[in-house]
Amino acid sequence: MPLKPVALSFEGRSVRGEFVLTAGGLEGGAVYALSAALRERVAAQGYATVLCDLRPDMSLADMAAKLARVRARESLSNRLRKGLNLSAASIGLLRESVVVPVTPMGLAERIKALPVRLEAPQPLARAISSAGGVRWAGCTEQYMLRALPGVFVAGEMLDWEAPTGGYLLHACLATGRAAAHGALDWLRKQGGERYPVSL
């Protein structure tokens, strides 16, 4: 189930976007943007806790005021739906908290900074995109491997935290084009007559 818009915060960095609740955890752009730091924390201590703002477009004071206007005898789900227009997915995630505050301000504070514990990334077989690859220092500016002259790399062959979707495709195509230009330049310097190349 998708949650949007949301903001995720971890170690002083906040990312606004969206994510999807799945049977295995959280997926989506907001999570991927923080993935390197989250992976490092999980590796170091076995888990990472990210703070989720379920209503980043609303201030804490406005949220508490809206919750206060909903009748107290309403169920928690109705208070959140009527007062803040929270989705069923957001309400479900909030209910995963150990204790859900009952006062309007306490509830608003939890919605603005909902702790979500992450215990491990998905296995590689499940990955949409993966980290790791050829280190930038191992390449020239033309994307040629310093250790293997004449071999060029691009896209996810490089060690970078690639955003998924259109951003990833754009970056792969752009680095591929730059690597192709680098390859043509290198071939010409090797003796263009032997290498009938064009781009």
For the chain, the domains span 2-118, 130-191
Cis check for the bond before 5: say yes or no (omega within 30 of 0). Answer: yes
Q: What string of pLDDT tens digits covers the 199 residues of the chain?
A: 888 899 999 999 999 998 888 888 888 888 888 988 999 999 999 999 999 999 999 999 999 999 999 887 888 888 898 889 899 999 989 988 778 888 899 999 999 999 999 998 877 777 666 777 899 999 999 999 999 999 999 988 888 776 666 677 888 899 999 999 999 999 888 876 565 544 4
For residue 24 the two structure tokens come to 């295995």
Query: Nearest Cα to 39, choosing from 109, 98, 122?
Result: 122
Burial string for 105-141 (b: 16+ CB within 10 Å, else e) reads: eebbebbbebebebeebeeeeeeeeeeeebeeeebee
The DSSP H or E segment spanning 167 is helix 166-191
Secondary-structure breakdown of the chain: helix, strand, coil percentages, each rounded to the nearest 5: 45, 20, 35
User: What is the reported pTM?
Assistant: 0.73
